[in-house]
A and B are shown apart, each in its own frame.
Chain A
Amino acid sequence: GQQLNQSPQSMFIQEGEDVSMNCTSSSIFNTWLWYKQDPGEGPVLLIALYKAGELTSNGRLTAQFGITRKDSFLNISASIPSDVGIYFCAGSNNDMRFGAGTRLTVKP
């Protein structure tokens, strides 16, 4: 099946530091997406990437769609306490599959 390997599983960082997480797959995806989930809520879309090689920013977030279409990364610059949560990568062809998530903790 279409497995997504997301790393790291968790990160503990100091406020103000930059964060990087990534996702790889053995399968090609037409679209890569990044979501954030807060406790008690559903995942919320952060960034969607539609083209191999595409680099997209959304405020302090930057994500790239790998050239091979089998990977993507998400960077968060100058982290703040409200960045805490679980970040999921997702790959989509006809349906959408999710990575296992990266749990981010930001210490003030």
Chain B
Amino acid sequence: DAGVIQSPRHEVTEMGQEVTLRCKPISGHNSLFWYRQTMMRGLELLIYFNNNVPIDDSGMPEDRFSAKMPNASFSTLKIQPSEPRDSAVYFCASSWAPGGGSPLHFGNGTRLTVT
């Protein structure tokens, strides 16, 4: 079992640049979640998908953030344009059931630094 795979592990970019984070969920899982982790705010849910459909994106900070899931094995989180306050670790997680407490399996995260 390969687990949830995120790329890149680290991303350093300049303010104003577009950033794309990638996630491959565990095969067979049909729910996918994007979280952002900072010291100040902890783990914040940004958006989650069920069967590739966005269910709740109320946690997405603003219009600069967008997420897609074109198929069951791939999702992206895009920030355009990026700002220094977007610096954080972004986690993708997947589960086999649409919520209801099915445990999430996390990737190792993408550490984003925006200068």
Contacts and interface: CB of A to CB of B under 8 A. Distances in A.
Of A44, A50, A96, chain B has the most CB atoms within 10 Å of the CB of A96
Contact of A41 (B55, B100, B103, B108): B108
Interface stretch (B11-19, B62-70, B75-83, B91-99): B91-99
A94 B55 contact: yes
Interface string A26-48: 00011101000000111111001
Given A42-B91, A42-B93, A88-B43, A95 B48 contact: yes
Contacts of A29: 101
A101 B42 contact: yes
Contacts of A48: 101, 103
Interface residues of B, number: 23
A100 B109 CA distance: 18
B28 to A, nearest CB: 17
Q: Is the interface of A mostly helix, strand, loop or mixed?
A: loop
Interface residues of A, number: 24
B53 interface: no
A29 B106 CA distance: 21
B43 A98 contact: yes
B99 A93 contact: yes
B99 A97 contact: no
Interface of B: 4, 33, 35, 42-43, 45, 48, 55-56, 91, 93, 98-109
